[in-house]
Amino acid sequence: MTPRLETGVRRLDFITKGGLIQGASYAVLGPPGSGKTLLAHQIAFWHVKHGGKALYVTLLTESHARMLANLEAMSFFDASVIPDKLHYISAYHQLETEGLKGLLELVRRAARQHQATLLIMDGMDAAKEFARGDLTYKRFLQELQTFIGIIGCTTILLSPHFAGDMPPETTAVDGVFKLSLWLSGPRAVRELVALKFRGSDSLLGKHELEISDRGVIVHPRTEVLFSNPQEREEGQRSRMAFGVPRLDKSLHGGLLSGSTTLLLGAPGTGKTLLGLRFLLEGARQGQPGVYFGFYETSQRLIEKAEGVGMGDFKKYVDAGLIEIQWQPPLEHNLDALAERLLERIQERKVKRLRLFVDSIAGFRSATVYPERMSRFFSALSHQLRMLDVTTVYSDETALFSPNVDAPQPDATAYVENVILLRYVELRSQLYRLISIMKMRESQYDSGIREFSITDKGITVAETFESAEAVLTGHAVVRGAPPKAKATRKSPMGVRAAAKKAARKPKRKPAGRRPS
Amino acid sequence: MKTILVVDDELDIAEAVKSILEDEGYRVVTCANGREALDCLKDARPDLAIIDVMMPVMNGFETIRAIRGSREFASLPVVIMSAIDPSVRPPDYDWAGFLKKPFSLERLLEQVHKQLPPVPAPA
């Protein structure tokens, strides 16, 4: 097996499936400010920290002092390894006086003298200009590669690169990583594109990149990270109830463990409360739960739960059985969110975990490639299933629309169950309705029922008989006079319907209750 | 100073080996094929030859055969440098060592030092 060189760059070694190949050469291309020098230094400091020796050769880039001053704030920076383990040389003078041959000779000698196991050459555009042609430059690269291959030294060549340009390095080296920095609206997006990686399988393609005082962090695309999904050995699946009797009855006991459910509804229909109820019911049965949300802080969620008869919610949060992971309202990275979620669940190492993601819109706003969403959620949901997690995602429909337009129309490809919450306007009042639209691998009751939220808790009524055609958004009162008469606004018709509705169990308008 | 003749049509390999062995204190002469190597033997008078097998004009096996047939250099130690192990199809002459391509620095120096002991570093 070919020896690998770990980079120390979080998740870059996932992309290369083990790290750079020892003795191979890599080009890191990118426009100024994209993080090339930072990435190379992060790898160099990691390498020397783990017993290697690195040689950093600069060619007409910023001075070594300036370069180091910019790196001092980085958590990986360690001045004590300079110059014994991490040695800097400026080779521009050699290049200017003796050309590529002189440069090659200088690098060869310095690499051997310092017993370098990692060579970084920064500012390769200067060498390219001296070559006066791609062929000469490629020849130089080939000679350099042969030499470093013999001495077993891994090499990273850094070159500025602009869109549309195809640098000669791309054909000569063993691997190419392209860094980019662009604007998606007001948001700056950094990306790493793995274009080529010889000698090993790798996750080629575009991955988002983050730069902080910890250096570079790569976020591999979730859908390629889990591109070879494993089948989980199905154990005995259980029913995961909401603790709302009529709803659980309609679900034939609850959601199947390990399943994925979409809780769809307009703002204020009670998605968050129903999701919290799902977590609370699990906690009461000793099952751990995670709330992964974007909008409300832990304190607000607890208050909200307490206001609707879920007074013991806080007790389970304090005991750690329910974990609230609130994502502050910042610019997020789609794959970083998935990593955070999965890492936390993997760390907990528990079975029958309940997860409520509130909501999919939080993920949607984090992506710069909306076309990825379906593949992303398929991969994420599958991974959660593998971890024996029962997931409920919430997502919003339009507040005022006669149609049920799911923001993620292809969501049915990755969710097994769909529960719809919606408003219906009837006799000048708003009512909440709940219905199960889909439940894979299980029987379910598709009846439309009234869904109420009071300070005593959440209830689902036996029926909603007073209205029909409610899913179209154009509810019609049962027993009302025909349409022609209705247009004459017969007071008797409405009154008759109201009388009938009054015979139903107590039902208060939705607008008067907490949501 | 001991002299080593490096024969390889891949000039990047010949140059890399030359650079390394010069640092080790040897004099190194490079040639791009067997014919060139035979022509420069008299001037270079090597103590060791490192010869690639697959080369244009005259390949490595033919070159070694010619060296063994010469009166003056018949006993010159030769290290064969190839991606294919010569023992798979043994040639009809002796060779002192084999360096499988691609090779590491350690393997190269091991083969050279077997024939020519390391040159002590100047005090």
Residue A494's pLDDT is 34
Tell which of A146, A148, A154, A198 to mutate to test the B interface (max B CBs under 10 Å).
A146
Q: What is the mean pLDDT of residues B70-99?
A: 83
Rg (CA), chain A: 30
Residue A236's pLDDT is 83
Residue with the bigger pLDDT between A151 and B92: it is A151
Of the partner residues A105, A142, A150, the one whose CB lies closest to the CB of residue B108: A150
Q: What pairing do the DSSP bridges indicate for beta strands A205-212 and A215-219?
A: antiparallel
Q: Up-side HSE of residue A365: CA atoms within 13 Å toward CB?
A: 14
Assess if residue B122 is contained within a domain.
no
Residue A44 contacts residue A38 (beta carbons within 8 Å): no
CA distance A260 to A440: 10
B121 in contact with A, Cβ within 8 Å: no
Of the partner residues A109, A139, A143, the one whose CB lies closest to the CB of residue B16: A143
Tokens representing A137 are 């430059």
CA distance A315 to A322: 9
Provide the residue count of chain A. Answer: 515
One-letter amino acid at A286 equals: G
Tokens representing A330 are 């910042």
Residue A230's pLDDT is 64
> What are the counts of helices (DSSP H) followed by strands (DSSP E) for chain A?
17, 24
Residue A331's pLDDT is 81
Assess if residue B18 is contained within a domain.
yes
Tell which of A150, A155, A174 to mutate to test the B interface (max B CBs under 10 Å).
A150
| A146:B105 CB<8 A | no
Tell which of B15, B100, B101, B107 to mutate to test the A interface (max A CBs under 10 Å).
B15
Q: What is the mean pLDDT of residues B87-109?
A: 83
Collect all residues of chain A within an 8 Å Cβ-Cβ radius of residue B103: 150
Residues 6 or more apart whose Cβ sits within 8 Å of residue A159? A27, A28, A29, A123, A124, A125, A128, A167, A169
The one-character DSSP state at A412 is G
Residue A166 burial class via C-beta count within 10 angstroms: exposed 0-12, middle 13-18, buried 19 and up: exposed
Provide the residue count of chain B. Answer: 123
Categorize the per-residue pLDDT at B22 as very low, low, confident or very high, splitting at 50, 70 and 90: very high
A199 in contact with B, Cβ within 8 Å: no
Cα A200 off chain centre by: 26
Assess if residue B123 is contained within a domain.
no
Structural domain span for residue B52: 3-115
Phi, psi (rounded to 5 degrees) for A304: -60, -45
Of the partner residues A108, A139, A142, the one whose CB lies closest to the CB of residue B19: A108
Would you say residue B83 has pLDDT above 50?
yes
Tokens representing A58 are 């600069």
Residue carrying the six token digits 């690098």:
A107
Phi, psi (rounded to 5 degrees) for A206: -95, 130
Assess if residue B121 is contained within a domain.
no
* Domain of residue B28, CATH code: 3.40.50.2300
Percent of chain B with pLDDT strictly greater than 90: 64
Q: What pairing do the DSSP bridges indicate for beta strands A260-265 and A255-256?
A: unpaired
**pLDDT per residue as tens digits for the range A243-268:** 999 999 999 999 999 999 999 998 88
E strand or H helix that includes residue B49:
strand B48-52
B36 in contact with A, Cβ within 8 Å: no
Tally of structural domains, chain B: 1
Residue A274's pLDDT is 96
Angle between helices A134-151 and B11-23 (to 10 degrees): 50
CA distance A489 to A492: 9
| A146:B10 CB<8 A | yes
| A147:B12 CB<8 A | yes
Question: Nearest-CA residue of chain B relative to A141?
Answer: B12
Pairs of CB atoms within 8 A across A/B: 39
The one-character DSSP state at A83 is T
B75 in contact with A, Cβ within 8 Å: no
User: What DSSP assignment string belongs to A457-513?
Assistant: EEEE-S--TTEE-GGGT--EETTPPPHHHHHTT-HHHHHHHHHHHHTSSP---GGGS
| B16:A146 CB<8 A | yes
The 3-state secondary structure of A10-22 reads ECHHHHCCCCEEC
Q: What's the mean per-residue pLDDT of chain A? A: 85
Of the partner residues A109, A149, A152, the one whose CB lies closest to the CB of residue B23: A109
B10 in contact with A, Cβ within 8 Å: yes
Of the partner residues B12, B15, B105, the one whose CB lies closest to the CB of residue A151: B105
| A150:B23 CB<8 A | no
pTM summary value: 0.79
Residue B97 contacts residue B79 (beta carbons within 8 Å): yes
CA distance B62 to B65: 5
CA distance A171 to A167: 8
Angle between helices A92-113 and A134-151 (to 10 degrees): 20
B84: distance to nearest CA of chain A, Å? 17
**pLDDT per residue as tens digits for the range A139-151:** 999 999 999 999 9
Three-state DSSP at A365 gives coil
Collect all residues of chain A within an 8 Å Cβ-Cβ radius of residue B12: 139, 142-143, 145-147
Categorize the per-residue pLDDT at B59 as very low, low, confident or very high, splitting at 50, 70 and 90: confident
A36: distance to nearest CA of chain B, Å? 28
Q: Is the peptide bond before A359 cis (omega within 30 degrees of 0)?
A: yes
Residues 6 or more apart whose Cβ sits within 8 Å of residue A349? none
Assess if residue B8 is contained within a domain.
yes
Tokens representing A278 are 């799902």
CATH numbers and ranges of domains, chain A: 4-220 (3.40.50.300), 239-464 (3.40.50.300)
Assess if residue B59 is contained within a domain.
yes
Tokens representing A469 are 């055609």
Assess if residue B79 is contained within a domain.
yes
User: What DSSP assignment string belongs to A166-226?
Assistant: --THHHHSSEEEEEEEEEETTEEEEEEEEEEETTS----EEEEEEEETTEEEEE--HHHHT
Of the partner residues A139, A145, A152, the one whose CB lies closest to the CB of residue B104: A152
**pLDDT per residue as tens digits for the range A156-212:** 999 998 777 778 888 889 999 999 998 888 888 999 999 889 888 888 889 999 999
Residue A39, CA distances (Å) to A20, A75, A115, A157, A185 in order: 13, 13, 22, 12, 26
The stretches in chain A having pLDDT less than 70 are 61, 227-234, 400-404, 464-515
| CA proximity to B62, closest of B7, B123, B5 | B7
Assess if residue B83 is contained within a domain.
yes
